[in-house]
Structure 1
C-alpha cells in the first residue's frame, strides 16, 4: 500500500527537530519513504502511483509511546482512590489480580488500547503484572494484533505474595518463550520483555534468575523501582543493605533495564543508574495520584540517561491518556523546581516520542518522522476541540498544554489507519465500552 498526506504541518522530532509547515509524507508498505515540502513529496507520490490525501493544514506528529501501563486496570477506575501505594496495592489491586480471567483481560485491554489510540498513542508498553490463570498473555496480544497497536508486552511475575499469583522461574520463562514464538515477528509490532514485580514481590533467587535469562536470551527487563521508599525499607529489613546494592549484586541493573517510576532516588541510586545506563519511565499522574512524589527527571537527564513517559495503569491514574500525562509531567517538573524551564513542551514531546522509542529499544524504528522509519503518526486537528483551538504558539506547546483527544483526527500505525476522522477502524467502539462495563461489574462481584 502506498499513501501520501500533503499539506500537513509536520513536527518530525528528528535529531534536528525539523518542522515542515506545509509538509508531506509518503509511506509504502508501512515504511516512510519520503518526507519534506509538500510539493516535493507530491511529485514523488505521483511518480509511484500512491493514493494522495489532502491533510488540510492539520498537524502531524510521531505516534506517542506509552512506556508503562497495566491495561487490565481499565476495569478498576476509581477502585483504589485516595490511598498510598502501600495501602492501594493490597486493598485494591492484589484482589483484582487474583480474580482476573480471560474475559476480563480481553475487555480491559481492548478499552485501554481504544483509549490509547484516541490520545495519539501508537506504541504501548504493558506490564501485565498478574498471571492467576494460564494464557492471559495470549489473550492480550491477540487483542493488540486485532486493533493494530504496536505492543511491548511485559510478562509480569512474582514468587512472593498471594498463592494465586506466585510462580517459579521455569514456568515463567517457558511462558515467555511460548509468547515469543507465537507473536514476535521482524516487523517489530510485538516484542516480549521480562517484567518482574517490585522488589517486595521477588526473592533474591528469582531476581538473579531474571538476569541470567535476560542475558542468555537478550530479553529486556521492565520493573517498578523506587516508586516509594518501600524498596529501601524492604531491602534493609531482608538483607541489611541498601536496595541499590541488592539490585547491583543480583545483576538487575543494566542498559536493558527500564526502571519504572524511580521517584525515591538519592545520589547513590542515580550514580548507579548512570554507571549501568539504566533507562527510566516517568509516570507523573500516577505518582501524584498515590502521593509518591516526583521523579528527579532533570537530574537524571543531566546525567545523560534516557527518560521516557508513561501513564501507569488506570488503577492509579484512571485513564491511559498520554496527552494528560504530557501536560501533568511538564507542569509537575516546573513546580518541583520552581522553574518554568525545568521541562519545556519540546522536551516533553521528545520524552513521549523518540525517547520513549529508545527506552523500548525501538529508536531505530519509531519515535520520529524520518525516511526509513515505520509510518507511526497521528494527525491533530484543533478545530475539533474547543480546548485545543486556537493554536497561538508552537505546535508542540499546543499539543502538550492544550491537547485534547477530540482533536486526534487520524492515527496510523505501521502504515495501517487505526483511527480515521475520530472513528476506530479496527473494532466496534460501542461494543468495547459495553463489554468493559459488564466485565468490570463481574470482576468487582468476584472480589467483594
Structure 2
C-alpha cells in the first residue's frame, strides 16, 4: 500500500508561519526542528531557504492532535448496528471482529490511520479488541508503521468469558492471559520508534480481579499504558455491583489498575466518588463526544472532571460508532455539546480545546508533557500540522483564526503534517500511502468487509 515514490522528507525549519503559542497567534515566525523536536521558535529571519525548509507563508501552525481512543479495524464496520442500544451494537460489531483476517485488519488500519492523519491527528491510541491470531496484531502494527503516524497500540486482553458480553467477553476472541501478555512483549520488540505498546481492556466486566492485578503488574514493570472503557453507560456499575458487590471504579481499584498510566475511556456516567478516585490516582479520561452522541450514551461530565483535577484528552472512537476519524469534527462537536449541556457559549474555546486535544492525556500515554499545553513551543515533539484556510472557501474570510479553526475547520484545510519532523502529509495528501490503491481495495470489499 506504500506509494512507489514514497520518500522521507525531513523538515528542519518552518519559515514565516503564524504559530499558535497556546495563548495567542504569533505571526511571521520561524520554527526550528532538530532530531524530531522543536528547538527554537523565533521571529522570522528573511532569506531562510533550503531542502529542509517548509514555506509557511499564509499558513497557521498548531500541534498535531492526539486521538486518545479509536478502534482502527472498525473502519470496515461503518453503519454496523446503527440505531441499536450499546450492548446490541457491541454484539453486532463483535461479529465483524470475529471475521477479521490479517489482510482486512491491515486495510482497515491503513484507512483509519490515514483518515485521522488527514485531519491533523499525529498520534492515535489504538484500543485493539482481544484476538487470538498474532498475525492480526502484526497487520495492524505494519499498517500504522506504513502510514507514518505516531501511535500507542493497546494489545487487547480479557480473562472472563461470556458470550452475552454482560459479565465477560466473547470467548471466541479470548486467549489465555499469559499468552496475550507474552505477545505484547513480542509486539513491543517489533514496534519501531513511533509506536509504543500498551494493554487494552474492553471494560471492567471482562476481567477478573486476579487478571487485573496480573495486567497491572505487567504494565507497571514495563511502564505501559493500560486503557479501559469505563462507565460509557450505567452498565459497568450495575454489573460490577451485581457480580462483585463493588462499583466499577472500586472494582478497578481492587484490581490495582488505578494509577497515572491508566486511560479511562468515555466516563459518561462517572459520579463524584469515581471522579475523586480518578483524580487521586492520576488517571486520565478519554472524552469521545461524537461516539457518545451517536450511540445515545450521553454527555461526559468534562467540566466536572477538569474541576476535580482529572486530565482529559479527546478521542474519536472507532468508525463503528463515529463513522469518521475526523478530529476536527470531534473538536467542534465536543465544544458544542458541552456548551449546549451547560447552556453557556463562553466555554471550551479554541485554546482550551487544543490543550485537551493535543496534550490532555499525555502523561497517561507516556508521551512527553509539552511545556505549553496545546501550543507550539520549544521542547515539543515536532508533530505539527500546517493549516491553510484558503484551501476551503467555507472558512473564508478569516477574522479570527482560532474561531475559524474551531467552528469551520475540516480536513480540507490540512496542508502539511509532520511527525517527528518528517512530512507524512503534503498538499493535503499522504506522502506515504498510495491512496488510489487504497481506494480501489476498499471499493472491492463486499458488503460486510469481506475481501
TM-score normalised by structure 1 residue count? 0.92
The match for 2:232 among 214, 217, 227 is 227
- Secondary structure of the residue aligned to 1:443 is coil
**How far is the alpha carbon of 1:242 from its aligned partner?**
1.8
1:164 match:
172
Moved more, 327-336 or 435-444: 435-444
**Distance (whole Å) between structure 2 residues aligned to residue 385 and residue 356 of structure 1:** 30
Gapped regions of structure 2 (runs ≥ 5): 1-9, 162-168
Deviations 1:214-260 (A, max 9, x none): 22222221110001011111111211222222111111211110000
**How far is the alpha carbon of 1:146 from its aligned partner?**
1.6
Deviations 1:291-328 (A, max 9, x none): 10111101110112110100000000001100010001
Is residue 385 of structure 1 aligned with residue 392 of structure 2? yes
The match for 1:418 among 411, 414, 424 is 424
1:26 match:
32
1:8 match:
17
Q: Is the 8 A contact 1:4 1:50 kept in 2?
A: no
**Distance (whole Å) between structure 1 residues aligned to residue 326 and residue 423 of structure 2:** 19
1:326 match:
331
Q: Is the 8 A contact 1:308 1:359 kept in 2?
A: no
2:414 match:
408
**Distance (whole Å) between structure 2 residues aligned to residue 2 and residue 412 of structure 1:** 8
TM-score normalised by structure 2 residue count? 0.91
Deviations 1:268-302 (A, max 9, x none): 11111122121110000000001101111011101
Deviations 1:45-70 (A, max 9, x none): 67xx7643432211111111100000
**Distance (whole Å) between structure 1 residues aligned to residue 96 and residue 130 of structure 2:** 9
Call closer, same or farther: CA 1:270–1:365 in 2, change over 3 Å: closer
Q: Is the 8 A contact 2:154 2:200 kept in 1?
A: yes
**Distance (whole Å) between structure 1 residues aligned to residue 283 and residue 11 of structure 2:** 39
Question: Would you tell me which structure has more helix in proportion to its own residues?
Answer: 1
**Distance (whole Å) between structure 2 residues aligned to residue 143 and residue 12 of structure 1:** 33
Call closer, same or farther: CA 1:60–1:391 in 2, change over 3 Å: same
**Counterparts in 2 of 1:70-109, with a 5 A limit?**
70-90=71-91, 92-109=92-109
1:348 match:
353
Call closer, same or farther: CA 1:440–1:351 in 2, change over 3 Å: farther
1:141 match:
141
**Counterparts in 2 of 1:232-271, with a 5 A limit?**
232-271=237-276
Number of residue pairs aligned between Structure 1 and Structure 2: 432
Q: Is the 8 A contact 1:123 1:149 kept in 2?
A: yes
**Distance (whole Å) between structure 1 residues aligned to residue 111 and residue 251 of structure 2:** 38
Q: Is the 8 A contact 2:107 2:143 kept in 1?
A: no
Gapped regions of structure 1 (runs ≥ 5): none
- Secondary structure of the residue aligned to 2:181 is helix
1:375 match:
382
- Secondary structure of the residue aligned to 2:324 is coil
Q: Is the 8 A contact 1:104 1:439 kept in 2?
A: no
1:437 match:
443
**How far is the alpha carbon of 1:178 from its aligned partner?**
0.4
1:295 match:
300
**Distance (whole Å) between structure 2 residues aligned to residue 4 and residue 85 of structure 1:** 47
**How far is the alpha carbon of 1:435 from its aligned partner?**
1.5
**Distance (whole Å) between structure 1 residues aligned to residue 438 and residue 315 of structure 2:** 23
CA RMSD of aligned residues (A): 1.9
Q: Is the 8 A contact 1:100 1:132 kept in 2?
A: no
Call closer, same or farther: CA 1:342–1:33 in 2, change over 3 Å: closer
Deviations 1:16-56 (A, max 9, x none): x35311211122332222212112xx57x67xx76434322
**Distance (whole Å) between structure 1 residues aligned to residue 261 and residue 343 of structure 2:** 33
**Counterparts in 2 of 1:122-201, with a 5 A limit?**
122-159=122-159, 160=161, 161-185=169-193, 189-201=194-206
